[in-house]
Amino acid sequence: MTTDRKADAAATVIIGRKVRPGMERAYEKWQEEVNAAAARYAGHLGAEVTKPTALQPDWVIVYRFDSVAHLQAWMNGATRQRLLDVGAHYFDGPATQQVISGGTQPTDPLVTVVVSHRVHPDNVDDFLAWQEHMSQEESKFEGFRGTEIFRPVEGLQDEWTTLYRYDNAEHLDAWLTSAKRREILAEGEKFNDFRLRTIDNSFGSWFAFEENGREAPPPSETKTAIAVWVGLYPTVVLLTLALHPLGMPLWFGLLVGNLLSSFIMSFFTMPHYVNRLLRRWLWPPPDEPPARTNLVGGGIVAGLLLFWAVVFYLVTQVFWTLP
């Protein structure tokens, strides 16, 4: 079956589950089977599973589809129901669920709060005005990165869903525990039937980004290896040059360098350097000939590596020689 991905906005469902103690490993294997089944459904764009943390006590599963209709087909389908019946003994109570239609997926590592409200149709205007006031006050707190509000999704969810994002857990907690938030919650007392979930997105795939809220399908293993090479070479050499004056022994210098390079690659080099420059090669448009894409991408890769090779030759051989 083929689908027109431009016909509707991308749709996302966020599911929270409590897993019985001691059954985590078996649950993970079961969840992998569920994700594989979801990937076979039309319009599937990606799935993410986040283990419990100090910030989020539940397992969080996120599915993205290219339309509400395709998400609904998966959520309400017989395949998923059969799998839920098989895995029912892993769960400690019912799951929670928020469905979002449209929206954007942030490319930075953020902490996101998902809030679901039940709103009577007669109170929608008041609810939106109250949410606007909430957003205005949130934006005054340090670390605030944006708010999105989503209407109920017919056939899947009757609740309104609001997302608000902060750059880290400390800044988020400052807002959640603030007197201003308590004041605004009191003003919206008739909207106090809500559920709140925090999702820690501090760690993510080097390659999981795309516009319009969609998770990009991963590039081939060959392209992935080459892209990591493009980012790793300047990162490792620059770190080596920066750490060399400290005179650390080899074994300790590599330990520190590897740690720093992992953070730099995850939070800067890949998302802000490699992915941006090689985007059309890693995720080519469907209507672009592969030969042209690979030719242009190969040229960019060669140019970047040649540039850094020349720079580091001049730095280490001409202007400065390592002892």
Q: Check which CATH number belongs to the domain holding 41 and give it.
A: 3.30.70.100
Burial of 218 (0-12, 13-18, 19+ CB in 10 A): middle
* pLDDT tens for the chain, residues 1 to 323: 223 333 345 788 888 888 999 999 999 999 999 999 999 998 888 888 888 877 677 888 888 888 888 888 898 788 888 898 899 899 887 777 777 766 554 444 567 787 888 888 888 888 888 888 888 888 888 888 777 777 777 766 778 888 777 877 788 888 888 999 889 888 888 887 777 766 655 433 434 334 333 344 556 778 888 989 999 999 999 988 888 888 888 888 888 888 898 888 887 888 788 888 888 888 776 667 888 888 999 999 999 999 999 999 998 888 876 55
pLDDT at residue number 209:
35
Q: How far is residue 130's CA from residue 185's CA, in Å, rounded to a whole number?
A: 9
182 and 245: one domain? no
DSSP of 103-118:
----SS--EEEEEEE-
Please report, for the chain, how many H helices and E strands are present, in that order: 11, 8
124 and 242: one domain? no
125 and 257: one domain? no
23 and 73: one domain? yes
pTM for the model stands at 0.46
pLDDT at residue number 102:
60
| Beta strand pairing call for 59-65 and 44-50 | antiparallel
Please give the residue range of the domain that contains residue 301.
221-319
pLDDT at residue number 266:
80
Residue pair 206/219 in contact by the 8 Å Cβ criterion: no
Angle, nearest 10°, between helix axes 221-243 and 290-313?
Answer: 10
Residue pair 284/290 in contact by the 8 Å Cβ criterion: yes
pLDDT at residue number 55:
67
Residue type, 120: H
The token pair at 303 is 């140019």
148 and 94: one domain? yes
pLDDT at residue number 173:
83
Q: How far is residue 203's CA from residue 29's CA, in Å, rounded to a whole number?
A: 21
pLDDT at residue number 276:
82
Q: How far is residue 3's CA from residue 144's CA, in Å, rounded to a whole number?
A: 37
171 and 134: one domain? yes
79 and 196: one domain? yes
144 and 243: one domain? no
Number of domains in the chain: 2
